[in-house]
Chains A and B, each alone.
Chain A
Amino acid sequence: MTKIKVPIGPQHPLLKEPLAFQLTLEGERVVESVMRLGYVHRGMERLCQERTYVQNIYLLERVCGICSHVHATTYCRAVEALMGVEVPQRGVNLRALLCELERVHSHLLWLGVIARNIGFDTIFMYAWRDREMVLDIMEDLSGGRVSHAVNTLGGVRIDLTDEHRNAILAQLDILDVQIQLLLGVVEHEQTLHARTRGVGRLTLEQIHRYCVVGPVARASGLDIDLRRDAPEPPYDRLEFNVPIHTDGDVWARTLVRVQEAVESVSLCRQILHSLPEGQTTVKVPRRVPAGEAISRMEAPRGEVIYYVRSNGTDKPARVKVRTPTLTSLVTLPEQLQDVQMADVSVVLSGVDLCIACADR
């Protein structure tokens, strides 16, 4: 049979961000795929060396639009560790509150995207309507829907009054009901099952070999979550489950993400109910002493790791960022092998692409 080459991207209705694929098809079956990254490469790591530590918080927030807060938080944790500074508990809790809200936002956004890509527009509309609720909460908290600029070195620049806190809790009650509805759809809706079950399967052994993290790994049975495995405050006193499934297909990943969103809403409630009194920020020394720090956090897509080296000047000598999407992207050629052309959209959506994260 003749082989046909089908390009997907860099601009394509499937893709929210530019990414290029060259698929080779035999009939309807993909026999080879070549992927090209780098269309949104902005040279963030190099730019970090030209900016002060505080300026870098705002730069690194823009590595990704959806997980902006967790990037800034991981960076701040690394720099605060270098300075030997401890953020007050109220500040730590507020950071975690935004991390969890961001997780809900990311998963709802993704649910809408994958629903759109399989033609299930109703769920796209519902998920993105509910996402608006989360964005409104984040805007009331920080002033920005997507880019929050909440972190400073030594804590956060926002605070909550009791009235504001109760307003957020009321919104979370409504959000909870809506997400449970979406979870019901994912669990029972036959068209979603037909499109996503058995597609893009990754075994646990492949997860190990490719060092995959996040919901993609958890959907294949890997029981990891940095919030639970390396519990930093406030996660050391909060109760939450980590959803694990073993099917390893796109449906399992959908289940993991929506269940994680449910857990995150519960975490937000717990944080708000037990918010410690006190300062939200602490004064930090003028100069960052020379040294290295390695900081890891659980972003919506998995483990994000920052390596920061200071040489005692006002600008970092090296900031290395590895984002979780990169670990899923490396599995795509294997996932796309022998997949039907019609399932390519499902496979690509299933890994929760965040190309801005991968390219930096």
Chain B
Amino acid sequence: MSDFVTRTAEMRELVMNAFVKAFPDEEFAVREVPVNDIVIAVPAGSLAPAVRILVDELGIWHLSTITADDTGDHIHMLYHFWHGSGVTLETQLPLTGSSIETLTGQIPGAAFYEREIFEMFGVVFEGNADLTPLLLPDDWTGPPPMLKSSNGQTESKA
């Protein structure tokens, strides 16, 4: 408990220093999101290596969940971690035919989150052998239900 970072600014410094050292050629956009999270944009190909830095080097092993969000232009993936304060890695994937490396090799706890995103959004997690339906019925033949295109929805803007 004593080594848990307790403030957003400390978390930001800790993670960004490690990322800048590990990926010297890349620029990472960081922003703060309420309630107490920082969100770091990572290219899709660098996501699994970035998670390795978090888990192996910084000891940030708790993956709260993986969120997928159809913004109308792309699928916005967010990987939420917690270590006394929240740190989220975000990346963008194309709306259809997208795939990203699985985290289940490093974090077995990601299994259910990846299964749900596969069935709801159609994102393939490479290396995850068990992408069977989690919540949808076995005989589901329709398109991934959370994709806006599957429901005739469009992303409305105010």
Contacts and interface: CB of A to CB of B under 8 A. Distances in A.
Interface stretch (A134-142, A171-179, A273-281, A311-319): A311-319
Given A230-B36, A290-B158, A311-B155, A43 B80 contact: no
Nearest to B65: A322
A305 interface: yes
Contact of B146 (A45, A78, A230, A330): A45
Contacts, number: 109
B33 interface: yes
B67 A320 contact: yes
B23 interface: no
Interface in A201-218: 208-213
A257 interface: no
Contact of A318 (B6, B69, B82): B69
Contacts of A312: 157-158
Interface stretch (B13-21, B94-102, B107-115): B107-115
A229 B84 contact: yes
B67 A287 contact: no
B64 A82 contact: no
Contacts of B157: 311-313
A197 interface: no
B1 interface: yes
A129 interface: no
A75 to B, nearest CB: 12
Contact of A293 (B4, B35, B107, B110): B35
Nearest to A331: B109
Nearest to A321: B65
A37 B134 contact: yes
Given A209-B107, A230-B84, A317-B155, A293 B134 contact: no
Contact of A305 (B80, B146, B153): B80
A253 interface: no
A81 interface: yes
A309 B69 contact: yes
A22 B79 CA distance: 31
B112 A305 contact: no
A21 B67 CA distance: 27
B43 interface: no
A223 B136 CA distance: 35
A311 B85 contact: no
A95 to B, nearest CB: 14
Given A37-B135, A296-B35, A305-B80, A330 B158 contact: no
Interface string A284-311: 0001001111111000000101010101
A326 interface: yes
Nearest to A217: B62
28 contacts: A37-B135, A45-B146, A46-B146, A46-B151, A77-B35, A81-B34, A208-B61, A209-B108, A210-B108, A211-B61, A211-B64, A211-B107, A213-B62, A224-B1, A230-B36, A230-B84, A295-B34, A296-B86, A305-B65, A307-B67, A309-B69, A311-B156, A313-B158, A317-B71, A318-B70, A320-B67, A322-B64, A327-B109
